[in-house]
Amino acid sequence: MKLNQPYDLIIIGGGVVGLTGAYFTSRKGRNVLLLEAESGIKHASVRNFGSLVPSGQQMGFFRELGERSMHWYRQFSPCPSFTRTVITKEEAQRQNNGIHVLFKHHGNGEITIGDSHQYYPIDSIREGVFFVDTKINEIMLSYANKVVNIESNEITKLWLGWYLDHADGMLTTTCRDGFHCVTALAGKGMTIDPALIEKVIEQIFFCNRLTIDLH
């Protein structure tokens, strides 16, 4: 890092959003400085578990971002058929409850199944008040049993992670001249990030303001 040279863009946060922003900035031939407080990746970028789920996004703006983002992940280039996915009644039910069914098998016979996105008001976090929706667990177990034969449906542990959410699905704004904020992607970051941040960087350099229409 060279502190005595000018940068076209300084990005705070080295998660998936910050890294993608640095990537698209450097592709434009601009000087970019990426700042990260931690020595390794933590928080929301780790909780994604490396999964890309465009079909799990709400129809409309976020679904389109997820689909457009796929061409930046070269491993998906042989798989164009995901855009023709038919949304069944069961799939719609999973989407409405933010459910993505993932599996991890442990050597002791346990299976981790996840995950679902449920969001609570910020006051609930301060007060430590959360509710387990047993209906969501039943939907996840029912779908999981269609994929693999699970001998026991006994739930031994529940895991809780943290994502920042926003009423519009994310927050993109220009706080003041030269200061821009992109946050609260609420677990959608890895999936929609490339297409979203490509638009963000274009607006920062050509408009100097973020005016992304989320609808």
Give tens-digit pLDDT for 37-58: 888 766 666 655 556 666 566 6
Residue 32 confidence (pLDDT) above 90 = yes
Cβ burial, residue 107 (10 Å; 0-12/13-18/19+) = exposed
Fold of 9-206: FAD/NAD(P)-binding domain (3.50.50)
Q: Which residue has the tokens 């895991």?
A: 159
When pLDDT is averaged across residues 151-177 and rounded to a whole number, the result is 80
Residue ranges of domains in the chain? 9-206
DSSP 4: T
Mind listing the pLDDT tens digit for each residue in 68-80?
Answer: 787 777 666 666 6
Task: Please tell me the distance from the alpha carbon of residue 70 to that of residue 82, in angstroms, as a whole number.
Answer: 10
Q: What is the pLDDT of residue 45?
A: 66
Q: What is the pLDDT of residue 30?
A: 94
Q: What is the pLDDT of residue 105?
A: 77
Q: Is 170 in a helix, a strand, or coil?
A: coil
When pLDDT is averaged across residues 198-212 and rounded to a whole number, the result is 87
59-66 LR contacts (CB < 8 Å, sep 24+): 59/87, 60/215, 61/169, 61/213, 61/214, 61/215, 62/169, 62/188, 62/192, 64/195, 65/191, 65/192, 65/195, 65/196, 66/188, 66/191, 66/192, 66/195
Supply the mean pLDDT for the chain. Answer: 78
